[in-house]
Structure 1
Amino acid sequence: MSIDVDRRFAVVHAALTDELDRQTARLRELTEMSADTGDPGESHNQEALIAATRRSVEQVSGALRRIAEGAYGRCEGCAGAIPAERLEVLPHARFCVPCQQKQVG
């Protein structure tokens, strides 16, 4: 790997690690304050926030795992390279855009 690629992965790894720390703290905070308020709407919102935060933690953890395994930036659908622009916007992306569209389509 070139020095630029190594440096880019180090920057991505650091950013993802920071994001994982933030999301893990948020999840801990949300689950600690999830006491039943008696308001079904509030309870539903709280559950939705917890579920979304858990998904975020899983996505970021997966990206960190792919970096460690040397698979980061490779599409899990076609094994092609995920464009750098996509990874800049969505650093935990597992699929290139065409394969992602197949996943949701």
Structure 2
Amino acid sequence: MRATLTSEFEAQTTRLTELTADTGDPGEAHTRDALIAATRQSVTQISDALRRMAEGSYGMCAGCTTPIPPERLEVLPHARFCVPCQQKRR
């Protein structure tokens, strides 16, 4: 899982660099800004997941402290919450 997260982190930071360097068409600035915001959020989430791995808390729900099911982590490797706790947060 660490390799997957590291690879995705590298891909997203590269994408962020490209997006912020591209001044592009002024008419597309709103779309570009939204992409930059989403990519920054992704980089932050992945970075947090890698930090949790280093601390030994990766895979534990930040809400109820139970293990997050491996199936959820495979789909969403940066998940901080189990499904029930995530639903409560909405």
State the TM-score, normalizing by the size of structure 1.
0.83
Unaligned runs of 5+ in 1: 1-11
CA distance in 1, matches of 2:26, 2:86: 39
Unaligned runs of 5+ in 2: none
Residue matched to 1:80: 66
1:21 partner letter:
E
CA distance in 2, matches of 1:73, 1:36: 40
Instruction: State the 1:43 CA deviation.
Output: 0.8
Instruction: State the 1:103 CA deviation.
Output: 1.2
1:31 partner letter:
T
Cα RMSD after superposing both structures:
0.9
Q: Structure 1 residues 88 and 36, CA, compared in 2 at 3 Å: closer, same or farther?
A: closer
CA distance in 2, matches of 1:73, 1:53: 23
Structure of greater relative contact order (alpha carbons < 8 Å, 6+ residues apart): 2
Q: Check if 1:26 corresponds to 2:12.
A: no
1:49 partner letter:
L
Residue matched to 2:26: 38
CA distance in 1, matches of 2:12, 2:26: 26
Instruction: State the 1:102 CA deviation.
Output: 1.1
Q: Check if 1:47 corresponds to 2:33.
A: yes
2:14 partner letter:
A
